[in-house]
Amino acid sequence: MILRARIVLPISAPPIEDGAVFITGNRIRAVAPFRDLRRLYNEKIHNLGEVILMPGLVNAHCHLDYSDMAGELPPPKTFTDWIGSITAAKTGWSYSDYARSWLHGAHQLLKTGTTTVADIEAMPDLLPEVWDATPLRIFSFFEMTGILSRRPPKEILREAIEKIDSLKHPRHRAMLSPHAPYSTLPELLKLTATTARKHNWRVSTHIAESEQEFEMFKNASGSMHDWLGRNGRNNSDCGHGSPVAHFARNKLLGENVLAIHVNYLARGDATLLAKNKTHVVHCPRSHDYFKHKKFERERLANAGVNICLGTDSLATTRKIGKTKPELDMFAEMRSLAEHDKAVSPEEILRLATVNGARALGLAGKIGELTKGAFADVIALPFNGKIAAAPAAAIQHSGRITASLIGGQWAIPPGY
Ligand SMILES: [Zn+2]
């Protein structure tokens, strides 16, 4: 089929006025002005009209299973206070609460233009059931901690690998997520690094999210350090450098690693991340919820780090007035534009598409409209001029007009 639109934003190539995308099966075969494609191919034409056609968004960090906690946890004073609140909120939840919540989150992402999501799974037993119920492409990262349970890292990892091996799906993949430096032991980080390299898996992990975590590792002091110490954590891995340096020491930086947040950097950390080709995922609304200091986008970008965008969970997204927040990559793009005046709309679009694709090892396959990529395409209402299209795209709010994933309509036009 041929999709025709007022504007096509391929992301990896300049915008096209009265553009079209030619698709066969699950792949894009050509992206060009409509008049050229119509001459070359005698195919069924879907004229989507006054829209921007662009690649489906790549959400590089999410916790779908917390989606129904939207608006339940007011912004805390400190990060450790928040850990207390979410732990309390989770105790009342059953297996079916998590499953329902996961599916609500997936639906919110779908209707707001995400087509691929890197999700952290606190409840991996849900996956066979929920995976089948969504058209999204899911990278499911199994959360591993072990500090409070005091289980040996080897056993935690073995259990995660067994679960990953038991899951096979044509569209979705399962991989590993050691939760964060403070909630894991160095041995788990080292074992994860070796295992992931052996299996060619991505690893997703929270790092340097809070000031307390930074202080814990850099100085072996502060409220998080003391609180975890009181709860039996062996804190002998603290006091040897920043959280990023801690990961470097445990060999968990690399081209296959998605480092989530990275809000607090020591001197040399940006270079260390860049040298190891580690990807950084920024979550603007979660960042705003915790009132972290300004995200060091320019410092990381100047060092050469690939930066992408994620929604994080709705347990760390502020309510606006009485409205409960929803998972929405456009809301993340708008939030980034609001908090970082130096970043262009074109760059924000790259963060939400091609950069996320690169982080997930799918460069050229998702996040751009190009020959050979999966036909993951979304449409947004737009009747302006071509030069205004990127700025209009990042300011879009509400539902999208249509979504195609792997050549199949996930949201058909006119739905
Ligand atoms: Zn997270």
How far away, in angstroms, is 310 Cα from ligand 1 center?
Answer: 9
Task: For residue 313, report the distance from its CA to the centre of ligand 1, in Å.
Answer: 6
CA 389 to ligand 1 centroid distance, Å: 31
What's the gap in Å between 361 CA and the centre of ligand 1? 20
**DSSP secondary structure string for all residues of 186-224:** HHHHHHHHHHHHHHT--EEEEES-SHHHHHHHHHS-SHH
CATH 3.20.20.140 fits 57-359, yes or no: yes
Ligand 1 center from residue 369 Cα (angstroms): 28
Cα(70) to ligand 1 centroid in Å equals 14
Q: How far is the CA of 61 from the centre of ligand 1 (A)?
A: 7
Give CA–CA dist 65/107, Å, rounded. Answer: 12
The alpha carbon of 231 and the centre of ligand 1 are apart by a number of angstroms equal to 22
Look at the block and give the residue holding tokens 């998702």. 366
Nearest C-alpha neighbor of 57 from the set 319, 408, 396 = 396
Domains 2-55+367-411 and 57-359 share a fold: no
Helix/strand/coil (H/E/C) assignment for every residue in 46-104? EECCCEEEEECEEEEEECHHHHHHCCCCCCCCCHHHHHHHHHHHHHCCCHHHHHHHHHH
Please report, for the chain, the start and end positions of each structural domain, with discontinuous segments joined by +. 2-55+367-411, 57-359
pTM more than 0.95: yes
Q: Would you give per-residue pLDDT tens digits along the chain (415 residues)?
A: 999 999 999 999 999 999 999 999 999 999 999 999 999 888 899 999 999 999 999 999 999 999 999 888 888 888 888 888 888 888 889 999 999 999 999 999 999 999 999 999 999 999 999 999 999 999 999 999 988 778 899 999 999 999 999 998 989 999 999 999 999 999 999 999 999 999 999 999 999 999 999 999 999 999 999 999 999 999 999 999 999 999 999 999 999 999 999 999 999 999 999 999 999 999 999 999 999 999 999 999 999 999 999 999 998 888 888 889 999 999 999 999 999 999 999 999 999 999 999 999 999 999 999 999 999 999 999 999 999 999 999 999 988 999 999 999 999 997 7
**SS3 state of residue 301:** helix
Q: Can you tell me the distance from the alpha carbon of 66 to that of 108, in angstroms, rounded to the nearest whole number? A: 13
Q: How far is the CA of 349 from the centre of ligand 1 (A)?
A: 21
CB atoms within 5 A of ion ligand 1 belong to 312
N-term to C-term CA, the chain:
19
Nearest to 319 by CA among 294, 292, 285, 287: 285
Query: Rounded to whole angstroms, how far apart are CA atoms 104 and 101?
Result: 5
Residues counted in the chain:
415
* CATH architecture observed for domain 2-55+367-411: Roll (2.30)
Contacts of 84 (CB under 8 A, 6+ apart): none
Report d(CA 402, CA 415) in Å as an integer: 8
DSSP 8-state symbol, 233: -
